[in-house]
Structure formats: C-alpha cells, structure tokens
Amino acid sequence: MTLVEAPVRRRWMVAYGLAMVGVAAGWFGPIQILLPEQALRLAGEDGKEALLALVTAWGAAASMVANPLWGVFSDRLGTRRPIFVAGTVVGVAGLLVLAVADSTAPMVTGWILVQAGLNGPLAALAAMIGDRVPERQRGTVGALFGVAQIIGVILGTAVAVAAGSSAIGYVAVAIAVPALGAALLIMHGEVPISRGSRGRLHWPGGQFAVAWVIRFLLNLVNALVLVYLLYYLSDEVGVGDAATWVLIVTVVNVLFAGIFGFAGGVLSDRWEKRRVFVAAGAVVLAIGTTLMALVPVVPVVIAASVLVGIGWGAYIAVDMAVLTQVLPDPDTRATMLGVANVAGTLPQMLAPVLAAPIVTGLGGYRTLYLVTAGFAVLALALLPRLRAIH
C-alpha cells in the first residue's frame, strides 16, 4: 500500500486533464456524430437504429471486459505507463479501421478495437488518482477526470462536425488521442506499488457495491440522453441540420457540466462533503430528462440540456473521490477501479438495447426519457445506503 501525502502540482493536473480529454474525444466524437452518420449511410433510414445499436452494444461489451483486464495487468506490472501506451495504440488502430469501414463487419470490428483499446489509458488514468493524489485533493482531481471527459465530448463532436465526412473525422480523432496524452507520459512519475494482493479480479460487496450501482444508474442516464440525440433532434424535435444542433446542445451541456463539475470538486474538498453532490446531480438529471420527454421543442430542449449538464457536473464532481474512498484494497486499486469503470461502460451497451425498442414501438422518445428520469430517481433512492461517504 502507498500512502499519498504530497500534493500534485498544477502542471501535472493540466497534463492529466489533457490526456483524459484525448481519451474522451476518441470515445464520444464517434458516438455522437460519426457512428450515427455512418450507420445511416450503410443501413439507410429504416435500419440506422438497429445498426447503431449493434455496433455500440458490441463495443460496450468489449469495453466491459477490457477495463478490468487492463487494471489487472497494470497492478501486476506495478506501473501505469505501458498500459496507457498499449491501449492508446489499439484504440487509434480501431479509429483508422472505422475510417475505411464500408460494411457492418469492419464497422463493428473498428468500434470494438476503439472501446477495448481506450480502456487502457482510462484504467491507467483512474489508477493515477489513487497513486498520486492525496485524499484532500481527490475532489478537485476527480472532478478534473470527469470534466475532462465532457470537454472531450465537445472536442470530439466539434471535430466530427468540422470534418464533414466520417473518414476524415475518424482520422482527426485518431491523431488527437495520442497527441493530447503525450504531455502526461513525459511528466508523470511512477509511484512504486507494493505487491500485496494486487491483480486479483474479484467483486467486493458492501459500500463499493452501492457506489458501483449508483455510478451505473447515473451513467445509464447519461448514455440514454446521448445515444439517440441526433435522431431525437431530427425526428422528434424536427430541427433542420440535426448534426449542428447536436453540437449546440452538446456545447450547452458541456459548458454547464464543466462549470458545476469543477466548482463542485473544489467545494467538496473544501467542505469535505461528497453525498450532497451526488443527490443534487440525480435530482437535476431527473428534471432535465423529464423536460426532454414532455416538451420536445427547441427552447425547452436547450433548457433541459442546461439542467442535464448541471446534474451531470454535480455528480462527476465527486464520482472518483467517492470510488477511491470505498476501494476495498489499495494494493489492487487499478483492478478494482477497472471493475468500477464497468459501471461506466456497461450502460453504453445497455442504452441502445433499451432505447431501440422503446423508440421504435413502446412509446417513442417521450417514454425513453421518462424511463431515463426514473433511473436517476432510483440512484437517489440508493444514496442513503452509501453510509461510508459524508
């Protein structure tokens, strides 16, 4: 076990945030624009939802397996840098496969490689918080981990819109991912990790399990908001140039999520409180998604995106701080954070599976976003069971 006392410096935080932005851009640029447009081009108007569901489900399944395994490898090696590099290489290869995919099989293969690969740097980045960051800074750095992800959403989406074609967009994202991670690789100093019981993959119960389920539910809310956003705006709201509107809605969402996420992380460190931010996030997410369900008009959708951004920001402000506080064994932190990250990747697999039948036959987008609000309420109901967190 490594007891972390020395505070991390600001330049390390900047490099850390840039690396997370790159990983998130590699994920969410394709999810929001490139994959839906590619599905439309390959499957047509009638088959786009089914193809997108197939591709994202296979990718999320690969991600769900890959993240804990990357964590196991990282703990057994006792170092994070090789995992970061190897995963990035695999993820970039997947983006390049997607750039030339002209049928279902290579599209599925490319997205599997992206998801499996980028979980390597994600696992390494999550473990670095426990390795390098003292408890008194984990709200701030954990919020940076989350805020950088949503900045990556806007970067990836903007690149996708600016590129004007799937192939160029995928190549641009493939360049951005390693470029943004380079600074952290140069300046990150590895902290020796004791052998102990590291590298054993197991499922602990107790407080970790409660935190895992809450994380799963709120990530499912976020995934359900994102997965058919392009189609929701074009088919339900009825906007022209839906891709541009996805960018607008995403900018609004990310702006508020970023502000509330980073401010919340700093305040949670100052107040030494985490629970109130999780509760606030769940409530505001439920309100925002309910508005999307009941009033699908542009001004209300913009207002809803503000609320979803605030709610998501409030939660990610303390997400990593909560998880690192309930880890059962510090000597297996990368392994167990890999298990925790399944709560972030499994919703990507389930979201299209849940959303497709709802949208096409069980009430449409109104029902979809009401169900989404229900998941946020369920997370709130579980919060009193998280007794280890103040």
What pLDDT, on a 0 to 100 scale, did the predictor assign at position 152?
A: 82
The string of pLDDT tens digits covering residues 107-134 is: 999 999 999 999 999 888 888 887 777 8
- Residues 297 and 5: their CA atoms lie apart, in Å, by 51
119 close to 345: Cβ distance less than 8 angstroms: yes
- Residues 345 and 136: their CA atoms lie apart, in Å, by 28
What pLDDT, on a 0 to 100 scale, did the predictor assign at position 194?
A: 52
CATH number at residue 77: 1.20.1250.20
Residue 390 lies inside a defined structural domain of this protein = no
What pLDDT, on a 0 to 100 scale, did the predictor assign at position 203?
A: 54
Residue 5 lies inside a defined structural domain of this protein = no
User: Residue 68 has which token pair?
Assistant: 């804990």
DSSP string spanning 117-134? HHHHHHHHHHHHHHHH--
Residue 3 lies inside a defined structural domain of this protein = no
With 0.85 as the threshold, say if the pTM is over it. Answer: no
Residue 294 lies inside a defined structural domain of this protein = yes
The kind and range of the H/E element at 314 are: helix 298-316
Domain count, the chain: 1
Residue 2 lies inside a defined structural domain of this protein = no
What pLDDT, on a 0 to 100 scale, did the predictor assign at position 121?
A: 92
Amino acid of residue 323: L
Residue 371 lies inside a defined structural domain of this protein = yes
* Other CB atoms within 10 A of residue 242 CB: 21
| Range from 45-54, 157-166, 281-290 carrying the lowest mean pLDDT | 157-166
Domain hosting residue 275, numbered range: 10-188+195-385
| Range from 82-86, 136-140, 197-201, 244-248 carrying the lowest mean pLDDT | 197-201
User: Residue 164 has which token pair?
Assistant: 């004007």
* Other CB atoms within 10 A of residue 85 CB: 15
40 close to 234: Cβ distance less than 8 angstroms: no
Judge whether residue 195 has pLDDT over 70.
Answer: no
The string of pLDDT tens digits covering residues 352-385 is: 788 888 988 888 899 999 999 999 999 999 999 8
Query: What are the φ and ψ backbone dihedral angles of 8, each rounded to 5 degrees?
Result: -85, 150
Give mean pLDDT, residues 318-322.
Answer: 86
Judge whether residue 197 has pLDDT over 70.
Answer: no
Residue 1 lies inside a defined structural domain of this protein = no
